[in-house]
């Protein structure tokens, strides 16, 4: 490839076919590099490399720019169809929603934990609901109350017939959590 480029610069190319072949190879390589870069960045982040340390390697000036580059390049399946900027926006919205839900769960920890304790202590559930109730029970030992919400919602889907009042309380918490999440995203959009 390098040889072909040097010959092209010196006007010493054997044929137009050589140039077309080289250009096709460059395009394929560019596509592969574009796929590889976010994979390598993600692996580095999982190993604890900071955005600040990645910035100069990626050729950008700040940790924010490094993260933005990563978010623009990666292509999670649930974000297919979004533009690069759309992926950045979606990730920032997701994080804002998570922060808001975590804050709400901390502020309402007592309510969430009591409700989870009720769900997790149920004995009269069917075989289909038992694994879901058991997950809630095991999750009660976690420090973060936000971790209780998804298992409670999953369990509630299997408890509607036998425990409608308890399910109504779980649905209320879930509705409040979704409302908090939507508000956080809406505040970001209005900025």
**Residue 71: per-residue pLDDT:** 81
Of 79-83, 105-109, 173-177, minimum mean pLDDT range: 79-83
**Helix, strand, coil % (nearest 5) of the chain?**
75, 0, 25
Q: How confident is the model at residue 149 (pLDDT cuts 50, 70, 90)?
A: very high
d(CA 92, CA 178): 17
Give pLDDT, residue 101: 92
Pair of tokens at residue 33: 């590099």
Task: Check: CB of residue 105 under 8 Å from CB of residue 146.
Answer: yes
pTM of the model: 0.59
pLDDT averaged over every residue in the chain: 87
Phi, psi of 61 (to 5 degrees): -90, -15
């Amino acid at each position: 490839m390098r040889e072909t480029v040097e010959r092209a610069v010196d006007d010493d190319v054997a044929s137009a076919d050589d140039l077309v072949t080289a250009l096709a190879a460059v395009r394929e390589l560019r596509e592969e590099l574009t796929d590889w870069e976010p994979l390598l960045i993600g692996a580095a982040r999982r190993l604890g490399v900071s955005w600040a340390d990645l910035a100069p390697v990626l050729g950008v000036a700040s940790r924010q720019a490094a993260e933005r580059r990563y978010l623009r390049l990666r292509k999670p399946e649930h974000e297919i169809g979004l533009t690069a900027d759309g992926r950045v926006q979606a990730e920032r919205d997701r994080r804002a929603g998570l922060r808001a839900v975590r804050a709400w769960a901390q502020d309402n920890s007592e309510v969430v934990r009591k409700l989870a304790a009720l769900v997790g202590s149920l004995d009269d559930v069917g075989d289909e609901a038992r694994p879901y109730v058991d997950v809630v029970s095991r999750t009660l030992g976690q420090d973060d109350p936000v971790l209780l919400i998804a298992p409670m919602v999953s369990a509630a889907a299997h408890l509607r017939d036998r425990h409608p009042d308890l399910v109504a309380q779980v649905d209320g918490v879930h509705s409040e959590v979704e409302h908090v999440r939507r508000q956080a995203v809406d505040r970001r959009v209005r900025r």
